[in-house]
Amino acid sequence: MNNNTYKVSIIVPCYNQAKYLEQCFSSLINQTYANWECILVDDGSTDHTEKVGKEWAQKDARIKYYKKSNGGLSSARNFGLNHITGDFIQFLDADDFLAPSKFEKSLSQVTVKDNTVIITNFLLFDDNKQKEKPAYCKLEQNCFNQEAILMEWDKRFTIPINCALFPSNLTANYLFREDLKAKEDWIFWLQIYQHEPQTIFINEPLAFYRENTSGMTRKDDFMFENKMKAIKIIEQIINKPSLFNTYLRYNNDYLLHENHKQLKQIKLLKHKRTFKYKLEKLLRPFTGKKD
């Protein structure tokens, strides 16, 4: 294969993360594979993202700067998907970076472009101490199918999205869910693997994922609520109902959540039938008390 046969489109969403862009873009400039473009999507940042982004765009014509109103991570990625021209898509969050050989090593394995996903292993590193944590390299070939992604996500593994090169013929079919503020990657992976793509796995840490201990992913209630929303979406989109039913049997947090909501509603209805509630309602104009 010619070293530059395929073009890689890199989508970098950025919201107030200008301080990370030098490390992110340096990892692209230093790639040993030259045929790429980078779509930097400034998602309404209020820091100096615009200044830094335009400076990098002037340094290297392969970097293209776009600014849009703030819409969240999924919105920024979808904006980028509408501006790509490449054969493969690399999603790269602004605070992450890649090993210099990621594109070259990944694309040297490709024999058929369409329906081929190339995934490398990764290193997690600390947001403050900048220390790599090799123990978090835990991807294996058997992770990359729809059943494993549904049943074992957040248990045995997750796949940072910067590990993959996705063929543009698959990403053209899907956008990221903008109604989710977390778990949108889980949905995206499940949709991609509905097509049972050929997966090339390079068991070498060529992607680096920043562990942000102060971020949204550390807020348990926030993550739980978005997981519940994601499960409802999965029920609608998954093409294997029996697999989804199996998931529900072995993952009762969703059912417990739904039962909890129903119990709260039943208790409220019972309360509204009591003499005490009716009396309080009658006196509400005078007491100012609400339900």
The residue out of 158, 193, 217 marking a domain boundary is 217
Predicted confidence at residue 100, as pLDDT, reads 98
In a 13 Å sphere around the CA of 217, the CA atoms on its Cβ side amount to 10
For 110-114, the CB contacts below 8 A with 24+ separation are 110/1, 110/6, 110/200, 112/198, 113/6, 113/87, 113/88, 113/167, 113/169, 114/167, 114/169
Predicted confidence at residue 1, as pLDDT, reads 45
Q: Report CA dihedral (14, 15, 19, 21) to the nearest 10 degrees.
A: 0
65 shares a domain with 164: yes
Predicted confidence at residue 271, as pLDDT, reads 57
264 shares a domain with 163: no
152 shares a domain with 280: no
Asked whether residue 37 is domain-assigned, the answer is yes
161 shares a domain with 270: no
The residue out of 160, 190, 217 marking a domain boundary is 217
Asked whether residue 242 is domain-assigned, the answer is no
89 shares a domain with 201: yes
Predicted confidence at residue 135, as pLDDT, reads 45
The C-alpha atoms of residue 189 and residue 176 are separated, in whole angstroms, by 10
175 shares a domain with 269: no
Residue 145 pLDDT > 50: yes
Split at pLDDT 50, 70, 90, the class of 262 is: very low
Number of domains composing the chain: 2
Asked whether residue 222 is domain-assigned, the answer is no
Does the reported pTM lie above 0.85? no
115 shares a domain with 212: yes
Asked whether residue 112 is domain-assigned, the answer is yes
Report CA-CA distances (Å) from 175 to 78, 93, 168, 185, 218.
6, 16, 12, 10, 25
Asked whether residue 95 is domain-assigned, the answer is yes
Per-residue pLDDT reduced to its tens digit, 167-211:
999 988 889 999 998 999 999 999 999 989 999 999 999 999 998
259 shares a domain with 206: no
At 146, list the tokens: 């729809």
Which CATH number belongs to the domain containing residue 200 in this structure? 3.90.550.10
- Largest Cα–Cα distance in the chain? 81
267 shares a domain with 132: no
269 shares a domain with 132: no
Predicted confidence at residue 193, as pLDDT, reads 95
Predicted confidence at residue 228, as pLDDT, reads 85
Tell me phi and psi for residue 199, to 5 degrees: -120, 125
3-state secondary structure (DSSP) of residue 198: strand
Asked whether residue 234 is domain-assigned, the answer is no
Average pLDDT over residues 223-232: 86
Predicted confidence at residue 155, as pLDDT, reads 87
For the chain, give the mean pLDDT: 86
Predicted confidence at residue 263, as pLDDT, reads 45
Predicted confidence at residue 124, as pLDDT, reads 87
**Per-position DSSP letters for 7-46, written without gaps between them:** PEEEEEEESS-HHHHHHHHHHHHT-S---EEEEEEEES-S
Asked whether residue 2 is domain-assigned, the answer is no
Asked whether residue 194 is domain-assigned, the answer is yes
Predicted confidence at residue 207, as pLDDT, reads 96
Terminal-residue alpha carbon distance, the chain: 69
Per-residue pLDDT reduced to its tens digit, 268-278:
555 555 666 66
Average pLDDT over residues 96-117: 95
Residues with Cβ < 8 Å from 85, sequence gap 6 or more? 7, 9, 37
Burial of 94 (0-12, 13-18, 19+ CB in 10 A): buried
Residue 2 pLDDT > 70: no
Average pLDDT over residues 147-175: 92
Instruction: Give residue 159's domain range.
Output: 8-217
Per-residue pLDDT reduced to its tens digit, 245-258:
888 887 765 555 54
72 shares a domain with 152: yes
127 shares a domain with 264: no
CB of 199 within 8 A of CB of 109?
no
